[in-house]
């Protein structure tokens, strides 16, 4: 059973519909006691990092998620939810994150090395490039997935399961132990996105080992 965290800033409907297409049992909750019963958790998110962390802290969901992970539970952050996994973000001034994966969330500059401007936010389909083995990408090819974001994670290469390029190398899928993140929207990324979610479900259900 997958718990989807409702803290007021998540794309809850699209994520739940994606899981429904995979015939996965899931529920949406803002209650730590209920979420603790989940075999795996998804942390979605759309909007400002600082605002999202404020809402998580207000509902004590930040401490719950840290303890859930410490107890061995699987956590997947999607889009802003992935960014919240890191130590901090420069969005709207420095803001502390969940510190589940080392790194800082920074903004695309909008100007490349040749001083040519490029569009921010990044919106559209970009190809994944696999960097490290992981149950999340087992059996999959380096397909395109759908991104919408102005900020990206500046993190060590060792935490990158897959990356893409948008002026700079962008961590697209990250992982550390039982914590994972996808910068793109798997639920909006066609068959590739569904396959990635299916692999997460298989991992949570114990069919694979991290």
* Residue ranges for the chain with pLDDT beneath 70: 207-210
User: Coil, strand, or helix at residue 187?
Assistant: helix
CA R_g for the chain: 16
Q: Which domains does the chain have, with CATH numbers?
A: 2-204 (3.40.50.880)
Q: Residues with catalytic annotation?
A: 79, 185, 187
pLDDT given for residue 208 in this prediction? 42
pLDDT given for residue 69 in this prediction? 98
Measured distance CA(29)–CA(62) in Å, rounded: 14
pLDDT given for residue 156 in this prediction? 98
Strand order in the sheet with 2-5: 26-29, 2-5, 40-43, 74-78, 179-182, 168-176, 160-166, 129-130
Strand duo 160-166 + 168-176: pairing: antiparallel
φ, ψ dihedrals at 70, nearest 5°: -60, -30
Per-residue pLDDT tens over the stretch 135-188:
999 999 999 999 999 999 999 999 999 999 999 999 999 999 999 999 999 999
pTM listed for this prediction? 0.95
Cβ 83 vs Cβ 10: under 8 Å: no
Measured distance CA(199)–CA(48) in Å, rounded: 28
């Amino acid at each position: 059973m997958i718990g989807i965290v409702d803290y007021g800033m998540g794309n809850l409907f699209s994520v739940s519909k994606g899981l429904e297409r995979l015939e996965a049992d899931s529920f949406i909750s803002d209650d730590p006691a209920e979420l603790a019963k989940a075999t795996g958790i998804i942390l979605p998110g759309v909007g400002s990092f600082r605002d999202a962390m404020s809402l998580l802290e207000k509902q004590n969901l930040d401490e719950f998620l840290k303890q859930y992970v410490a107890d061995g539970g699987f956590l997947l952050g999607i889009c802003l939810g992935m960014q919240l996994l890191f130590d901090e973000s420069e969005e709207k001034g420095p803001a502390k994150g969940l510190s589940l994966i080392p790194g800082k969330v920074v903004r695309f500059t909008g100007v490349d090395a040749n001083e040519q401007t490029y569009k921010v936010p990044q919106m559209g389909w970009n190809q994944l490039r696999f960097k490290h083995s992981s149950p999340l990408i087992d059996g999959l090819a380096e397909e395109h997935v759908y991104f919408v974001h102005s900020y990206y994670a500046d993190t060590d290469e060792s935490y990158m399961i897959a990356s893409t390029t948008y002026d700079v190398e962008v961590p697209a899928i990250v992982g550390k132990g039982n914590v994972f993140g996808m910068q793109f929207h798997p639920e909006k990324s066609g068959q590739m996105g569904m396959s990635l979610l299916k692999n997460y479900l298989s991992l949570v259900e114990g069919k694979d080992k991290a």
